[in-house]
Every structure is written in structure tokens, then in C-alpha cells.
Amino acid sequence: MVGVETLRRVLKEVTSDVSSARERDPAARGIGTLEILTGWAGVQALLAHRLAHALWESEVPLVPRAIAYTSRAITGVEIHPAATIGSDFFIDHGSGVVIGETAEIGDRVTLYQGVTLGGTGFARGKRHPTLDDDVTVGSGAKLLGPLTIGRNAKVGANTVVIQDVPPQTTVVGNPGHPVRVEGRPVEGPDTDWIHLPDPIAEAMKEMSERIAELERRLAEATGEKAKPAEVTELRPKKGPSSAGG
């Protein structure tokens, strides 16, 4: 059965979860704890999971799944009672988030709406992702299979990840391509998705440059004057950060 120490642990986890919501969601700053608990679906889903997971570990039948089912119906967030979640976890907006049975989530992880930590195939055992500490996963991203997302990694919005991501790496695209943000490691739950590099645009730019070089060499070999091509330069998006920076 659930003991006093388990209840204390759950209370401590919930307190840190509320603090994380206040720190990472600008809309929650200056908001009281009671209002966050009653108005933030991601926090509500996590509160329900903390209780369901404690009951699951104590081998209480039926009740953990009932709590998870009720939480999904109310919040739109589905978390299997067996999933392991660390401290200071935050789900922003929450709707559509799915966290599978064998998923493991470290400390200070942030997920945005529509994220799936899903499995592949029908085999039992470890089949869902592992997220190390300080990972951020953007809206609509799908992480599939028993892969590992390294510490301080960032997964861009709508990215599909099917293999391991090294620490301090950003992945974008479908399937996910490892990239760096302006050559610097990613630190903390940064919400600036505007300035992510685009590997497809970079590849097209490189191809365009190579074609221009080939045309120049061909013109020199034939003695004809190369016609200037109309090329639109691919530049990184400029402007203010969506995170307010």
C-alpha cells in the first residue's frame, strides 16, 4: 500500500512541478498555486500521474489506470501510470501529449502540445523513448521507439525522431536531422523556435553554389560568357525571438 514516505514524495514532486510551470510559462508568472492547479491542464495531468504512478509502484490494481483514463478525458494528456518522470517536469498547454508505458523522463524536461513519446512494434519490454535531463521537445514532435535524447538536447516542432540524439544537439525535420543552433550548445528550456537552422535550405544553398561554379568552369572551357542566374539568397530568419529575447 501507499506509505507516508510515498505521499511525501508525491507532494514534493507536485510542488516542484507547480514551480516549474510558474518559471517556464510567462502566463503563469504572478499566478497563485491554487489557480495553476485548477487552470493549467499540463499541471493537472502531471498531478494525476504522480498519484497514479505511486499507486502503480505499490501494485494497487485498477485504480492507477482509472486515474490515467480520467485525467486523459479531462486534460487531453495521456500518460501511462508506469511511465517514469523526474522532477521539475512541465507540459505547456498539454493537449494531445502522449507518454507511453516504458518512457523515462529526466529532470527539468519541457514538452509542448501534441508531443508523442511512442513505441514501435508489438514487442514487450523497453519500447518508448528516454529523455535525459534538461531536454526540450517542441509542439507536434514524435519520438518513436526505445531511443535516447541526450542531456540539453532540443527537438524542433513537428520533428520525427527515430534514432538517438546526442547531448547538446538540436534536431529538426522528418526524419530528424541533427543540427546546432548558431554553432552553440543548447542550454535549458529555450522556447525560441524561430532561429533553428534549416538543413534542407542549407543543402539547397550548397547545391546552388556548386552549380554556379560548374557553369563558370563550363563558360571558361567553351569561351562563352556565362549568363548570370537569378538566385534568391537563403538567409536565416531575422527578427525578435519568440521567447521575448
Specify if 136 maps to a domain: no
Q: Which domain holds residue 3?
A: 1-77
Query: Over the chain, what is the mean pLDDT?
Result: 83
Nearest to 66 by CA among 58, 56, 76: 56
Instruction: Encode pLDDT of 66-103 as tens digits.
Output: 999 999 999 999 999 999 999 889 998 888 999 999 99
Region 16-29: mean pLDDT is: 82
Specify if 142 maps to a domain: no
Specify if 146 maps to a domain: no
Q: What is the pLDDT of residue 234?
A: 54
- The one-letter amino acid code at 143 reads L
* Angle (nearest 5°) at CA 84 between 83 and 87: 135
Q: Give the chain's domain count.
A: 1
Q: What is the pLDDT of residue 228?
A: 64
* Angle (nearest 5°) at CA 28 between 24 and 32: 130
Region 49-62: mean pLDDT is: 92
Alpha-carbon 63 to chain mean position: 29
Alpha helices in 33-137 (DSSP H): 33-39, 41-57, 63-75
Q: What pLDDT band is residue 26 in, cutting at 50, 70 and 90? A: confident
Q: What is the pLDDT of residue 185?
A: 53
pTM to 2 decimals? 0.72
| C-beta atoms surrounding 241 within 10 Å | 12
Instruction: Encode pLDDT of 114-123 as tens digits.
Output: 999 998 877 7
- The one-letter amino acid code at 101 reads E
Q: Which residues, in sequence order, are bridge partners of residue 191?
A: none
Query: Residues 6 or more apart from 210 whose CB is under 8 A from it?
Result: none
Which range scores top for mean pLDDT: 33-37, 169-173, 192-196, 230-234? 169-173
Q: Is the pLDDT of residue 193 over 60?
A: no
Q: What is the pLDDT of residue 162?
A: 92
Specify if 65 maps to a domain: yes
Nearest to 85 by CA among 66, 102, 63, 62: 102
DSSP 174: T
* Proportion of the chain above pLDDT 90, given as a percent: 42
* Proportion of the chain above pLDDT 70, given as a percent: 80
CATH of the domain at 37: 1.10.3130.10
Specify if 180 maps to a domain: no
Contacts of 83-89 with C-beta under 8 Å, sequence gap 24+, read: 83/49, 83/53, 83/117, 83/128, 84/53, 85/46, 85/49, 85/50, 85/53, 85/109, 86/133, 87/13, 87/16, 87/17, 88/16, 88/17, 88/19, 88/20, 89/17, 89/20, 89/46
